[in-house]
């Protein structure tokens, strides 16, 4: 009787194990279909550590990448994303998805990176200058960083450029304690001002922030206006949105949920604007103004942008992915000044004096 009972239990256990394995395979297949490419850490590893925040963040950035790529492809069906998975010999890697020369988008990139290793001296210096007290062990600071980052440059001057980035950073100090923080934001750079679009964009981001705390949107809207400031031109890069960095309170879970809400707001804040204007007619003069504004975009990214600087200072980082944010075409004209009271002068006024779009 005992042996028979053991046999039954063993059979039951085998059946359960087979069912669990089949369920895992099914889950894996479903995840594969959901993403643009297999995750950097591997699906098995992510599942094994699925309760850890690092794994949940990696899943979130993978899902955000796929969501945005699918939404863009739906608007530009003749174009497709080149999907490029890469490895970094110092640890980790990434997935770059880039669409070029479509009907609607001149260049759209949505990148994911998950990297780890030792922080370079320059990168540590950059962080300390922001008030981080990092205690290295024998000069070494192990770190892990991951994020999703995107810049979308449309062809039509009446469709704005959009950028977003959401990231997580972890550093292990000499005594084994871990410092962690989140950063990110979403912002809009129109060539011409459309107040209705500006209100829609800001309102959608405000709703995402308000779910967590009504104090967040005004704080991060101002931070965005201050951050995307081209000092040497005395103007902002665009009409802003939200931006935050070094966010490490109230708790890891609460900040993660906030970042998730912001990432989920990307498609609804931008795609309706693209749909509305992608077939608008435009003149050669309007196209020229777009090219000149793109020049300003490049100036900000190469001179001031923290992410670009950090990427260029990180050994083994992938330059192509870091400079993906630059437009396919841009223009710099000597002493170009738009006529007073023109549509071009109107956007400049807002770039010099940011507006409150939602109150």
| pLDDT for the residue 137 | 67
3-state secondary structure of 214: coil
Of 312 and 186, more confident = 186
| pLDDT for the residue 2 | 67
Give the mean model confidence (pLDDT) for residues 347-357: 97
| pLDDT for the residue 27 | 67
3-state secondary structure of 243: strand
Share of the chain above pLDDT 90, in %: 70
Residue 359 lies in a domain: no
Of 163 and 128, more confident = 163
Give the mean model confidence (pLDDT) for residues 280-290: 98
* CATH code for position 88: 3.40.1500.10
Q: DSSP states of 77-125 as a string?
A: TT---EEEEEE-TTSEEEEEEEEES-SSEEEEEEEEEEEEEE--HHHHH
Q: Which range is least confidently modeled, 4-8, 67-71, 95-99?
A: 4-8
The dihedral through the CA atoms of 246, 248, 249, 251 has a sign that is positive
* Predicted confidence band of residue 345 (pLDDT cuts 50, 70, 90): very high
Instruction: Check whether 3 has a pLDDT greater than 70.
Output: no
Average model confidence (pLDDT) across the chain: 91
The yes-or-no answer on residue 163 being catalytic is yes
* Predicted confidence band of residue 24 (pLDDT cuts 50, 70, 90): low
Residue 284 lies in a domain: yes
Nearest C-alpha neighbor of 165 from the set 305, 41, 316: 305
Which range of residues forms the domain containing residue 228?
Answer: 33-352
Residue 358 lies in a domain: no
| pLDDT for the residue 61 | 97
CB atoms within 10 A of CB 200: 19
Question: Which DSSP state fits 4?
Answer: H
Residue 1 lies in a domain: no
| pLDDT for the residue 161 | 98
Give me the catalytic one of 158, 163, 202, 277: 163
Specify the number of domains making up the chain: 1
Residue 184 lies in a domain: yes
Give the mean model confidence (pLDDT) for residues 49-61: 93
Residue 150 lies in a domain: yes
CB atoms within 10 A of CB 89: 9
Calculate helix-pair angle for 121-128, 306-313, nearest 10 degrees.
150
| pLDDT for the residue 273 | 98
Residue 153 lies in a domain: yes
Give the mean model confidence (pLDDT) for residues 199-214: 98
Rg, the chain, Cα only: 23
* Predicted confidence band of residue 280 (pLDDT cuts 50, 70, 90): very high
Residue 14 lies in a domain: no
Q: Which range is least confidently modeled, 141-155, 210-224, 243-257, 308-322?
A: 308-322
Instruction: Check whether 275 has a pLDDT greater than 80.
Output: yes
């Amino acid at each position: 009787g005992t042996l028979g009972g053991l046999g039954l239990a063993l059979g039951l256990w085998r059946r359960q194990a087979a069912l669990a394995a089949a369920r895992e395979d099914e889950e894996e297949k479903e995840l594969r279909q959901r993403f643009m490419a297999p995750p950097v850490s591997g699906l098995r590893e992510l599942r094994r550590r699925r309760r850890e925040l690092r794994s949940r963040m990696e899943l979130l950035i993978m899902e955000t990448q796929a969501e945005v790529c699918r939404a863009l492809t739906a608007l530009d069906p003749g174009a497709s994303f080149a999907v490029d998975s890469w490895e970094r010999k110092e640890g980790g890697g990434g997935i770059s998805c880039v669409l070029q020369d479509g009907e609607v988008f001149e260049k759209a990139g949505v990148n994911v990176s998950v990297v780890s290793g030792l922080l370079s001296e320059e990168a540590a210096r950059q962080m300390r200058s922001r008030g981080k007290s990092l205690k290295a062990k024998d000069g070494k600071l192990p770190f892990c960083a991951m994020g999703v980052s995107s810049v979308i440059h449309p062809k039509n001057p009446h469709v704005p450029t959009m950028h977003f980035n959401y990231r997580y950073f972890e550093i292990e100090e000499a005594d084994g304690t871990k410092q962690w923080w989140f950063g990110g934001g979403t912002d809009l750079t129109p060539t011409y001002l459309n107040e209705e679009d500006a209100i829609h964009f800001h309102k959608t981001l405000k709703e995402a922030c308000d779910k967590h705390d009504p104090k967040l949107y005004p704080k991060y809207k101002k931070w965005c206006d201050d951050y995307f400031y081209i000092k040497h031109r005395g103007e902002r890069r665009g009409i802003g949105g939200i931006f935050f960095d070094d966010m490490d309170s109230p708790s890891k879970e609460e900040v993660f949920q906030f970042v998730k809400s912001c990432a989920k707001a990307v498609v609804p804040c931008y795609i309706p604007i693209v749909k509305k204007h992608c077939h608008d007619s435009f003149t050669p003069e309007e196209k020229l103004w777009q090219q000149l504004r793109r020049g300003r975009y490049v100036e900000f990214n190469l001179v001031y942008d923290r992410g670009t600087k950090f990427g260029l200072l990180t050994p083994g980082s992938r330059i192509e992915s870091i400079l993906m944010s630059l437009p396919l075409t841009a223009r710099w004209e000597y002493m170009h000044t738009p006529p007073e009271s023109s549509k071009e002068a109107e956007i400049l006024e807002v770039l010099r004096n940011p507006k409150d779009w939602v109150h």
